[in-house]
Structure 1
């Protein structure tokens, strides 16, 4: 199976990077082909500009967008790994979605509503945040985050979300707490992509 990981964290020493490494190692151990698109390392340009839209309308998708779309087209499964900042996606990842999950590529209008052009792909999302999970659960933030990404991005384009892991209290846990998170990541990928 071809697995695409879209990764968005600027610090190579972060927990998110340890999650990325665990994900890649688990998938490779299970025989999957893995491509990582590290948006910060790529210096991905996240701003959707008018000239991008005009070029795509004219059938001349800009090269940086076309490259990412090719990776998505070739993937059987797509994983997003990113921290929750200000209750949402980091700007670089939001811009990736704005530019790459474009009209005519990821979705299109149909007589009965939206045509989901990325059907047949599996999706998995892993998030970290500083707030305890119990607080996010209680105030409805966990549900909100799942709606905006699982439904608003993946389901809207036809990608089937198989799991969404949210790890809270980052920065406040001991080493065992972080090891437990990495073990859960490994178990999750073994369960869905063994």
Structure 2
């Protein structure tokens, strides 16, 4: 299978980076083809500008958007890896969705309603957050994050969500053994799915 990993964290020494490396290694060990799009390393422009929408309406997709759409088109599985900041997606990955999952590419409207243009693809999301997992579960944040991303982004465009892993209490003060256990869980889950 062809995998696209869309990664969004500004620090290469972050736990999210370790997650990305773990996933890539596990997939490649299982014979999958993997492409990583590190949005910060690419200096991806997240702001949807009027000239973007004007160009798309006239059938001229801006080059940076077209490049990302081609990676999605060529993939069977799309994996998002990002931290939860202020109860949601970091601006760079939200902007990626705003600009790349555009009308006419990822979805459209017809007489029957929404037309999902990315059907046949699968999606996986892995998030970290600083708050304890139990707190997020209790206040409904975990469920809310899954609805927003799994349903609001993936299902809306036809991508089948296959899992959404959230790891709480993640900080630079967390013991190395706990972080390694989380990475082991991720590797085992990747191996069981793919």
- TM-score, normalization by structure 1: 0.98
Map 1:4-153 → 2, pairs under 5 A:
4-153=4-153
**Could you tell me how far 1:21 is from its partner in structure 2?**
0.3
The whole-number CA distance in structure 2 between the counterparts of 1:181 and 1:161 is: 21
1:60-97 Cα offsets, whole Å, 9 max, x none, are: 00000000000000000000000000000000000000
The whole-number CA distance in structure 2 between the counterparts of 1:188 and 1:120 is: 21
**Could you tell me how far 1:174 is from its partner in structure 2?**
1.4
- Match of 2:137, SS? helix
**Could you tell me how far 1:119 is from its partner in structure 2?**
0.4
Unaligned stretches of 5+ residues in structure 1: none
**Could you tell me how far 1:160 is from its partner in structure 2?**
0.5
Unaligned stretches of 5+ residues in structure 2: none
Question: For residue 186 of structure 2, what is the aligned residue in structure 1?
Answer: 185
Find runs of 4+ consecutive structure 1 residues off by over 2 angstroms: none
**Could you tell me how far 1:173 is from its partner in structure 2?**
2.7
- TM-score, normalization by structure 2: 0.98
**Could you tell me how far 1:124 is from its partner in structure 2?**
0.3
Which stretch of the first structure deviates more once superposed, 163-172 or 46-55? 163-172
- Match of 2:41, SS? helix
Question: For residue 161 of structure 2, what is the aligned residue in structure 1?
Answer: 161
- Match of 1:26, SS? helix
The whole-number CA distance in structure 2 between the counterparts of 1:108 and 1:186 is: 36
**Could you tell me how far 1:13 is from its partner in structure 2?**
0.3
